[in-house]
């Protein structure tokens, strides 16, 4: 049985060129980057600084010193929210997030609310987008931080970051962007988009797991962040802990590869996605796209196959790695909170599949996926009495909309 990976929003395979860059730092160049008294430490530190510059360039930062390495996107998001609110307690304690943020933002905000922070959760429209005017109405002079993701990990919708950043700065707030899913997949420039803090992660850009970074603006304004991990004063005191040099080197190399070919890669991946979408639409009635059909990640296709439960469909094509939602929420049987926030009917949400296309997927693989999914949808619908009623012309609005 062949196996095809189409869950690139969850994680991406390490690019062989990235792995090659990392290998020497496991054995030959194994020094601690904080050891400044010998060549082993110097070599490790030099490699870290090269990677820091590569990550900074990937997001348009004005200085490599604005990059603080972390263990990944979750830690970066925690550090941004908790660190900013603690550092700017004299201004206020109001935080704004959207309802479709990653759980590492929503759960962090929930904990902060339990500890006395005032948290506003902005709703989204039917495409999963935050309306700028809604932010304008919610923000106050006591708002310390607004946190909105660059692109959604489930439906792929890209947010109007530049406009949201401008609104935030009009009221003197700090603007944090969870750019983990969007890095390399859409244009992102922290200077142009007026971003003060940005979270990124290596394993979403064909780098290793367990490595991320937080961008912290150093001028106009200079942003203060209170450390959440103490001990050793690493990363200029913002994030203590021995640096994971091999992974950081890999992250840097992954960012260099984005700079070399991201634009062409996006076009190729979007073409694969659009072809797959067209195959489904041509062969199957009653399918729909979730998320913005235009302003979305190039490799994202979140579709509802009406009257077909997503879990059953995925079991039927188990040789294809797919998802019915975010990897961080895959253990829960409830429908996607992102789709719920968009107003999608819960029954239809349970019929939704996320296809995540990436760098190493081919047209041949996508052709196979189209055939297998179409055949399985037809097979499952053939077993559904509800679907048979729809086929016979019964108005589906008169039927209980449930999955078989």
214: β partners:
68, 199
* Whole-number pLDDT of residue 233: 86
What are the pLDDT tens digits along the chain (404 aa)?
689 999 999 999 999 999 999 999 999 999 999 998 999 999 999 999 999 999 999 999 999 999 999 999 999 999 999 999 999 999 999 999 999 999 999 999 999 999 999 999 999 999 999 999 999 999 999 999 999 999 999 999 999 999 999 999 999 999 999 999 999 999 999 999 999 999 999 999 999 999 999 999 999 999 999 999 999 889 998 999 999 999 999 999 999 999 998 889 999 999 999 999 999 999 999 999 999 999 999 999 999 999 999 999 999 999 999 998 644 434 445 679 999 999 999 989 999 999 999 999 999 999 999 999 999 999 999 998 888 888 777 755 544 445 44
Pick the catalytic residue: 117, 211, 255, 328?
328
- Distance from CA of residue 65 to its chain's centroid? 24
- Distance from CA of residue 391 to its chain's centroid? 38
* Tokens read off for 65: 């010193």
Q: What is the 3-state secondary structure (H, E, C) of 338-392?
A: HHHHCCCCHHHHCCEEEEECCCCCCHHHHHHHHHHHHHHHHHHHHCCHHHHHHHC
pLDDT digits (tens, 9 = 90+) for 81-108: 999 999 999 999 999 999 999 999 999 9
DSSP string, 185-235: TS---TTTTT-SEEEEEGGGTTS-SS-EEEEE--SSSPPP---SS-SS-TG
Q: What are phi and psi of 122, to 5 degrees?
A: -80, 135
* Whole-number pLDDT of residue 404: 43
Q: What are phi and psi of 13, to 5 degrees?
A: -70, 150
* Tokens read off for 288: 């729909």
Contact 356, 9 (CB under 8 A): yes
Three-class SS state of 166: helix
Please say if 328 is a catalytic residue.
Answer: yes
Task: Give the DSSP H/E element, type plus range, for residue 39.
Answer: helix 39-59
Quote the pTM value: 0.94
* Whole-number pLDDT of residue 398: 43
Q: Interhelix angle for 73-87 vs 103-114, to 10°?
A: 30
73 contact partners, CB below 8 Å, separation of at least 6: 102, 104, 178, 180, 199, 200, 201, 204, 212
The span from the first CA to the last CA of the chain, in angstroms, equals: 28
* Whole-number pLDDT of residue 331: 44
* Whole-number pLDDT of residue 232: 84
- Distance from CA of residue 189 to its chain's centroid? 16
Q: Which residues of 383-400 are buried (b: 16+ CB within 10 A; e: fewer)?
A: ebebbeebeeeeeeeeee
| CA–CA gap between residue 265 and residue 188 (Å, rounded) | 16
* Tokens read off for 69: 């390495």
- Distance from CA of residue 185 to its chain's centroid? 10
What CA–CA distances, in Å, run from 349 to 43, 169, 207, 291, 354?
51, 36, 31, 12, 11
| CA–CA gap between residue 7 and residue 354 (Å, rounded) | 8
Domains detected in the chain: 4-8+261-392 (3.90.1150.10), 16-257 (3.40.640.10)
């Amino acid at each position: 049985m062949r196996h095809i990976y189409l869950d690139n929003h969850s994680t991406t395979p390490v690019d062989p060129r990235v792995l090659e860059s990392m290998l020497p730092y496991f054995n030959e160049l194994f020094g601690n980057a904080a050891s400044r008294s010998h060549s082993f430490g110097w070599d490790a530190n030099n490699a870290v600084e090269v990677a820091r510059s590569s990550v900074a360039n990937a997001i348009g930062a004005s200085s490599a010193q604005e990059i603080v390495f972390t263990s990944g996107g979750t830690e970066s998001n925690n550090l941004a929210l908790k660190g900013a609110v603690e550092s700017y307690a004299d201004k206020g304690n109001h935080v704004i997030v959207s309802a479709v943020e990653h759980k590492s933002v929503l759960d962090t905000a929930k904990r902060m609310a339990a500890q006395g922070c005032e948290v506003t959760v902005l709703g989204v429209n039917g495409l999963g987008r935050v309306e700028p005017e809604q932010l304008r109405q919610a923000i106050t002079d006591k708002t310390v931080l607004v946190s909105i993701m660059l692109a959604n990990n489930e439906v792929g919708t890209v947010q109007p970051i530049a406009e949201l950043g401008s609104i935030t700065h009009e009221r003197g707030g700090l603007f944090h962007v969870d750019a983990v899913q969007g890095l390399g997949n859409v244009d992102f420039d922290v200077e142009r988009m007026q971003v003060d803090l940005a979270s990124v992660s290596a394993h979403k850009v064909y780098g290793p797991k367990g490595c991320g970074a937080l961008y912290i603006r150093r001028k106009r304004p200079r942003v203060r962040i209170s450390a959440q991990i103490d001990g050793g004063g690493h990363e200029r005191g913002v994030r203590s802990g021995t640096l994971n040099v091999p992974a950081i080197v890999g992250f840097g190399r992954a960012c260099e590869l984005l700079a070399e070919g991201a634009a062409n890669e996006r076009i190729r991946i979007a073409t694969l996605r659009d072809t797959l979408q067209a195959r489904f639409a041509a062969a199957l009635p009653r399918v729909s796209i979730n998320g913005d059909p235009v302003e979305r990640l190039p490799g994202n296709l979140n579709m509802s196959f009406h009257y077909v439960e997503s879990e059953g469909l995925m079991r039927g094509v188990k040789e294809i790695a797919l998802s019915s939602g975010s990897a961080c929420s895959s253990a829960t049987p409830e429908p996607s909170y992102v789709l719920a926030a968009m107003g999608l009917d819960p029954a239809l949400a349970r019929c939704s599949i996320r296809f995540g296309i990436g760098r190493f997927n081919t047209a041949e693989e996508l052709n196979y996926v189209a055939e297998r999914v179409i055949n399985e949808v037809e097979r499952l619908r053939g077993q559904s009495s509800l679907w048979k009623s729809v086929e016979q012309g019964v108005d589906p609005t008169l039927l209980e909309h449930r999955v078989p």
